[in-house]
Structures are given as structure tokens and as C-alpha cells.
Amino acid sequence: MRVFLWMALSLGVLIAHAVQAREMVITVDDLPWVEFAHGTRSEIQPRHRRLLSALKGIPAIGFVNEAKLVDGAQLSLWRQQMLIDWLDRGFELGNHTDNHNDLHQVPAEQFEQSILRGERYLRPLLGQRQQALRWFRHPYLHTGMDAATRERITQFLAAHDYQVAPVTVDNGEWIYARAYLLALQQRDRALQARLRADYVDYMLAKVVFFEDAAQRQFEREIPQILLIHANALNADALPDLLTVLRIRGYQFIALAQALADPAYRHDDQFFGRGGISWLHRWALTDQFPKSHYEGEPSVPDWVLQLAGVDGE
């Protein structure tokens, strides 16, 4: 009897998912790797390979900080190879400035130089494969605190044939990643497992929150764009995260395909300090009430404390 009940419930769940087809882009920032300062080559390389294995079959895109290719004063061949691995496996690459410059901290001209320095290796690398460098992701999602700066950088990017890669599912994954790195260094396997499980729950809750936000803003769901980083946490936890997303009905699509959705042509009059979700930028432009933003999941205190981070 119990087995039948379980089967009936499972079938119900499957049918519910079948009618709810959803789309998402997986974008991975700070390539080739976030944590070069906190791991040896022999630790990082297998993590990098696990991350790429988890992404197998998904049209993911990675955003590169070229300054990370230099170790000390030397160009690092094994770090370069990490980028080549992304391309060899069929993923896209984009520019994320050379040294993760913050547009809200440096003059616009300096920011523009960091964009150009961020393509010195990348553009020829893609060119060898008859691919164009076409995507740019703003570090910290900082797009300019005033209209003039934002417009200037937008024009600069367009003049260099870049399209901006937005994010809808912004999140505090980087905080989990810091805590996870410490748990790895402490060889605390129980804590690692607890962090991975909580991370997956948290990210799913974030995704659900932005599904609801899109529903209120567009009266439908839109293709979501998820931001994560190339780090040890995702090397270990991304398979589980992708599994729960697939169960929720997500198919993973390329960035260009998502941006073809008319939602991404929505007016954006957001000029502010925060590096926030594009859904929130559109909601602010449309003057949604405060209640629209309520209920967004936050990183729990125990993770913040482990990571040594005051807040998101």
C-alpha cells in the first residue's frame, strides 16, 4: 500500500514538473579560478576538472579575469590551460575585466583600460577557434552609479563589440564558498557536507524567489541567468545543485538564447550602488512596491560567521 502511495505521489510530482518547463543560463565568474591564493596546483586542477565535468552537456559560459593568468611576474601555462579546457569542452568565454576592477571605485577611463587588458589573451584565443569575443560581465555587477558613467561604459562596450551579460539570480554563493574553503582546509568533512547541503537549499530558494518575482513583473516566468563562481564549492556541490534545478523543470540554455527573450529588452533606469539582479533593476524602473522585494532568501548567520563575512 505504502509503495503504491509513493508511486502515485512520485507520478504526481513528475507530471507537475512536466508541465512547468523552465530555462536557465549557468554563468561562472572569475575564471580561471577564484582561489589561487588558497590552494596548490595539485589541489586546484582536480577541482577545476570536477567543475567542468559537472557542467558537461550544459551550454555554460565562463567570465575571465586575465590578471589571474599571471602568477607572480610569470605567465602561468597551467592556468592558461584551464581556460583552454573550457573552450575544448565547448563552453563559451567572456571578459570580466583583467583584474576584477570595480566601476564604482575607479574612474571610468581606468575601468575601460581594465576591459581592454582583459582581452589581450582572450580575444586571440577565441580567434584561433573562429569565435568572437562578445560577452562582458561587470565585476560585482556594478554598472555605474550615475547615468553618465553607465552610458559611457555601455557605449565603450558596444564600440568593442561587447554585449552585457546580465544576472537575474544574484546570490550569496561567494559567502558559502569562503566558508567551504575553510572547511576544506580544516579537513572537516561533516562541515563540508553540511555546507554543501545548505548551499543547494539556499540556491534553490533563491531561484524560486526570482521565479515569483518574474511572474509578478512579466506575468510569466522568464529564462533565468544564474551567477556562480569557479571555486571549490561548486567543484563539489554543483552536481547536486544542477540535479535539484533539473527536477524543478529547468533546461539549461545558452546566454544568447536567454537574451532573445523580450524581457531582456525591458527598460532599465537603475543607477545605484548595489550590484543587484536585473529583475530588481526592472522592478525599480517600474516602481514596484517595497513588498515586491520581501522574502528574498538570505545566507544564514552560521554560514556568515564561518566565512567571516558581516553580511551579503
Cβ proximity to Zn ion: between 63 and 250 the closer is 63
Q: Is 98 in the site for Zn ion (CB under 5 A)?
A: no
| Residue 34: CB minimum distance to Zn ion, A | 8
Buried b (16+ CB within 10 A) or exposed e, 228-250: bbbbbbbbbbbbebbeebeeebb
Q: How many residues bind Zn ion (CB under 5 A)?
A: 3
Q: Which residue's CB atom is positioned nearest to Zn ion?
A: 29
173: contact with Zn ion by CB under 5 A: no
CB of 107 to Zn ion, least distance (A): 20
Candidates 29-37, 146-154, 251-259, 273-281: pick the segment binding Zn ion (CB under 5 A).
Answer: 29-37
Q: How far is Cα 34 from Cα 38, in angstroms, rounded to an integer?
A: 9
Helix, strand or coil for residue 274? coil
Residue 92 touches Zn ion, criterion: CB under 5 A = no
Selected from 28, 30, 61, 276, the binder of Zn ion by CB under 5 A is: 30
Query: Minimal CA–CA distance to 122: which of 160, 155, 84, 159?
Result: 84
Binders of Zn ion among residues 130 to 149 (CB under 5 A) are: 139
Among 24, 25, 29, 255, binds Zn ion (CB under 5 A): 29
Cβ neighbours, 10 Å, residue 182: 16
Is there a contact between 63 and 135 (Cβ–Cβ < 8 Å)? Answer: yes
Mark the segment that binds Zn ion (CB under 5 A) among 21-29, 51-59, 79-87, 205-213. 21-29
Q: What one-character DSSP code corresponds to residue 202?
A: H
Q: Which residues contact 156 (CB under 8 A, 6 or more apart)?
A: 112, 115
DSSP structure class, residue 290: G
Minimum distance from CB of 5 to Zn ion (Å)? 47
d(CA 214, CA 209): 9
Region binding Zn ion by CB under 5 A among candidate stretches 9-17, 25-33, 86-94, 254-262? 25-33
Of 29 and 236, nearer to Zn ion (C-beta) is 29
Instruction: Give how far the C-alpha of residue 196 lies from the chain's centroid of Cα atoms, to the nearest Å.
Output: 17
* Residue 200 one-letter amino acid: V
Pick the closer one to Zn ion by CB: 112 or 170.
170
Q: Residue 30 or 221: which CB sits closer to Zn ion?
A: 30
Question: CA nearest 197: which of 295, 58, 303?
Answer: 303
Q: What angle do CA 61, 63, 65 make, to 5 degrees?
A: 160
- The least distance separating Zn ion from the CB of residue 163, rounded to whole angstroms, comes to 17
Nearer to Zn ion, 177 or 299 (CB): 177
Residues forming contacts to Zn ion in the complex (CB under 5 A) are 29-30, 139
